[in-house]
Amino acid sequence: MSTARQPGEASRLRAPLFFAIMTALIVIEGLTSGWNSALGIVNMGLLSAIMALGVNMQWGYAGLFNAGAMGFLALGGIAPVLISMPPTPGAFAAGGFAIMAAFAVAIIAVLAAIWLYRNLAGRARALAVAGVLIAGFFLYRAIFDPAVSAIEAINPSAAGNLGGLGLPTLVSWPVGALLAAGAAWLVGKTALGLRSDYLAIATLGIAEILVAVLKNEQWLDRGVLNVNGIPRPWPVPYEIDLQNSAEFVAKAQAWGIDPQTASTLTVKFAFLALFVVVILALIWLTEMALKSPWGRMMRAIRDNEISAAAMGKNVTRRHLQIFVLGSAVIGLAGAMMISLDGQMTPTSYNPLRYTFLILVMVIVGGSGNNWGSILGGVLIWYVWVKAGDWGPDIMSVLASPIPDGAFHDHMIRSAPHMRMLVMGVILLAVLRFSPRGLLPEK
């Protein structure tokens, strides 16, 4: 979000040029390290681009700093587990309904407390609210705890969780977006309308908590035991099916590729096609929204909240709206990422990778520009992956004049941390020297 905006400053060739450079980098990667690794980078880069699109809606359109993208991503990732995994036999009868009842008790207690808070006054209010909440908490635990033990006792080595509904994976993607949107509404409702940094701090907190929930609630997603074998979305095939299909093997041999490589490439291409469809749909929607009166209003609010409020715009409501929408996009990306990985590993959620790196993508790409987010997403992901590869090489060159010994070894060992430094320096340099990013907002 820069303060000075000069329209029409950037050349029209800028965007195609940068996308061409990005494509060239990927092609070089494909030629040097193999297409499998290049496609892997592209797929994950495109997923990062979707996350960046969501963060861009918040930061770029509205100037809201979401420091908890990881949380919404993780919450979206629970959707494929709950929607598309087959149900664990007997789990629902053992404890599923009791867990729902416990949640119902919790919600009723909170609603009752809110009602009492609004309709009573003085000491009676404090006592009544506290009483309802405490009683609600113990009732909730009394129903919840035995249900959880019952579910976790079912076949603990392979399941021990509720399982899913067995629906198609594609259904779970919008569900992931809905889950994230719900959490975002709760956070936004409390933290928006106050100082701008409070949203950042509140989202930082909710992200830690959501990931803690995924790590510890075994009945939900097996916690640190991970859920494996999450079904792939239609129409992505499985490698083993392709290799067993005579037709596919014949085709691969006709192309002169061995069937195993061909099958992994086909799978990656199928995912790529799906991701591109989703990205194009999102870009179309967001660009239409930005061109509409709504988009102009959002930019007006971002550039001068006070004058927008004076024109009768409800700034806090609009902020809440865009915050929920952006988080929904992040949740969608979270669900897609779990489908791509085929497994849910709650320990892999790291705030530097999934919150702050996404912010770097948005800012480097160009805050407020959707194409910029796509470019930033793929490009920064490429740099992140490659910095991991190049770090040791650069470090061994740097360390070569230093005599062998403890310090030399220490330098070599520290090489993997290079990427943090690279990202920090890139972010600081872009913010300082080119705050509008590679593809400035029009």
Partner 1 sequence: MELVNALVAITNYVIIPATAYGAQLALGALGVTLIYSILRFSNFAHGDTMAFGTGVVILVTWGFQSLGISFGPLPTALLALPFGILATAALMLGTDKVVYQYYRKVRAAPVVMVMVSVGVMFVMNALTRFLIGVDQINFDDGARFVINARQWREMTGLAEPLTLRSTQVITVVTAIITVAILFWFLNRTRTGKSMRAFSDNEDLALLSGIDPNKVVAVTWIITGALATIAGTLYGLDKSFKAFTYFQLLLPIFASAIVGGIGNPVGAIAGGFVISFSEVGLTYAWKKVATYLIPNWEPDGLVQLLSTDYKYAVSFTILILVLIFKPTGLFKGKIV
Q: Which residues sit at the interface with partner 1, rule CB under 8 A?
A: 1, 3, 63, 65, 67, 137, 145, 190-191, 194-198, 200-202, 204-206, 208-209, 212-213, 215-216, 351-352, 356, 359-360, 363, 413-414, 417-418, 420-421, 423-425, 427-428, 431-432
Q: Quote the least distance from Cβ 71 to partner 1, whole Å.
A: 11
Q: Quote the least distance from Cβ 179 to partner 1, whole Å.
A: 18
Q: Quote the least distance from Cβ 170 to partner 1, whole Å.
A: 33
Name the residue nearer to partner 1 (CB basis): 197 or 287.
Answer: 197
CA-angle at 211, arms to 207 and 212, nearest 5°: 115
Q: Quote the least distance from Cβ 76 to partner 1, whole Å.
A: 20
Contact 120, 201 (CB under 8 A): no
Name the residue nearer to partner 1 (CB basis): 356 or 371.
Answer: 356
Name the residue nearer to partner 1 (CB basis): 203 or 286.
Answer: 203
> Which tokens in the block code for residue 311?
């024109």
Measure the CA–CA gap between 66 and 85, rounded to whole angstroms.
30
Name the residue nearer to partner 1 (CB basis): 37 or 414.
Answer: 414
Name the residue nearer to partner 1 (CB basis): 145 or 287.
Answer: 145
Q: Quote the least distance from Cβ 158 to partner 1, whole Å.
A: 23
Name the residue nearer to partner 1 (CB basis): 15 or 75.
Answer: 75
> Which tokens in the block code for residue 130?
């506290």
Q: Quote the least distance from Cβ 72 to partner 1, whole Å.
A: 15
Q: Quote the least distance from Cβ 421 to partner 1, whole Å.
A: 4
Q: Quote the least distance from Cβ 203 to partner 1, whole Å.
A: 10
Name the residue nearer to partner 1 (CB basis): 267 or 430.
Answer: 430
Three-state SS sequence of the chain? CCCCCCCCCCCCCHHHHHHHHHHHHHHHHHHHHCHHHHHHHHHHHHHHHHHHHHHHHHHHHHCCCCCCHHHHHHHHHHHHHHHHCCECCCHHHHHHHHHHHHHHHHHHHHHHHHHHHHHCCHHHHHHHHHHHHHHHHHHHHHHHHHHHHHHHCCCCCCCCCCECCCCCHHHHHHHHHHHHHHHHHHHHHHHCCCCHHHHHHHHHHHHHHHHHHHHHCHHHHCHHHCECCCCCCCCCCCHHHHHHCHHHHHHHHHHCCCHHHHHHHHHHHHHHHHHHHHHHHHHHHHHHHHHCHHHHHHHHHHHCHHHHHHCCCCHHHHHHHHHHHHHHHHHHHHHHHHHHHCCECHHHCCHHHHHHHHHHHHHHHCCCCHHHHHHHHHHHHHHHHHHHHHHHHHHHHHHCCCCCCHHHHHHHHHHHHHHHHHHHHHHHHHHHHCCCCCCCCC
Q: Quote the least distance from Cβ 196 to partner 1, whole Å.
A: 4
Cα–Cα distances in Å, from 202 out to 66, 71, 76, 358?
Answer: 9, 11, 19, 18
Q: Quote the least distance from Cβ 197 to partner 1, whole Å.
A: 4
Name the residue nearer to partner 1 (CB basis): 204 or 283.
Answer: 204
Name the residue nearer to partner 1 (CB basis): 202 or 379.
Answer: 202
